[in-house]
Copies of this chain bind each other. A is one copy, B any other.
């Protein structure tokens, strides 16, 4: 085994995960209470924690999601976001954090009932612990970019949805209004959703058709 100089073994490794969900027509992020006096008192942050010596960062994220938020990794889409290594990001010492982006589908998101955890509208965030504001900003940027060239938005929707639901999800995340006709033409033209030939139940005069995504994974739209 390598015997590195002690100063090379300086780092504590952590993972932090930005979990997003759409609720009440808003993009929300999962926050937890943080209370680590004297540095942070009664503030909030995203879930995460240390990486153990026998864990990969993926293992660590799965463990923290299960133990701190009570969600199983199979129920969430997660990908590595960015590794945050600013020297003073943690006032307690050098902690390098591998950030993850997680997308939580509506039924799972509304089933989280822990006392110290809640979904917060991303447009209404107070300053958070550590560099969690930066991590969330990076995650929002990634999400907004990535839904425009992949089918990633699927993980923020129910399996079956109307084209209106899909448009609304894009509008909430991109914070804009999209032209209905153009949007439908693009979505159907890309061949990524298929009509189920069933209607959404409800009292509508002319009930809208249900759709689902064609492929199981988050496909990249290839323009070239």
> Given the known A-B contacts A223-B149, A223-B190, A224-B186, are A10 and B85 also in contact in the complex, defined by CB atoms under 8 Å?
no
Check B98–A149 contact: CB distance below 8 A: no
Residue in chain B with minimal CB distance to A79: B82
Taking the full assembly, how many copies of this chain does it contain?
2
In the complex, which residues of chain B have a beta carbon less than 8 angstroms from the beta carbon of A52?
8
Cα(A56)–Cα(B95), bound, Å: 11
Interface residues on A, range: 35 or more
Interface presence of A29 (CB below 8 A): no
Interface presence of A147 (CB below 8 A): yes
Interface presence of A44 (CB below 8 A): no
Interface presence of A162 (CB below 8 A): no
| Distance of A163 from chain B, by nearest CB (Å) | 13
Cα(A86)–Cα(B86), bound, Å: 23
Most chain B beta-carbon contacts within 10 A, residue among A1, A82, A149: A149
In the complex, which residues of chain B have a beta carbon less than 8 angstroms from the beta carbon of A8?
12, 50, 52-53
Check B93–A2 contact: CB distance below 8 A: yes
Check A83–B57 contact: CB distance below 8 A: yes
Check B53–A7 contact: CB distance below 8 A: yes
In the complex, per-residue mask of A174-191: 1 if CB is within 8 Å of any chain B CB, else 0: 100010000100100010
- List A residues 44-59 near B (Cβ within 8 Å): 50-58
The 6 A-B residue pairs whose C-beta atoms are closest, nearest first, are A2-B92, A149-B149, A2-B93, A10-B53, A57-B85, A56-B85
25 contacts between A and B (CB under 8 A): A1-B92, A1-B93, A2-B12, A2-B93, A2-B95, A7-B53, A8-B50, A8-B52, A8-B53, A9-B9, A9-B11, A9-B12, A11-B51, A51-B85, A56-B85, A57-B96, A58-B85, A80-B83, A83-B98, A149-B222, A149-B223, A174-B224, A183-B224, A186-B224, A223-B223
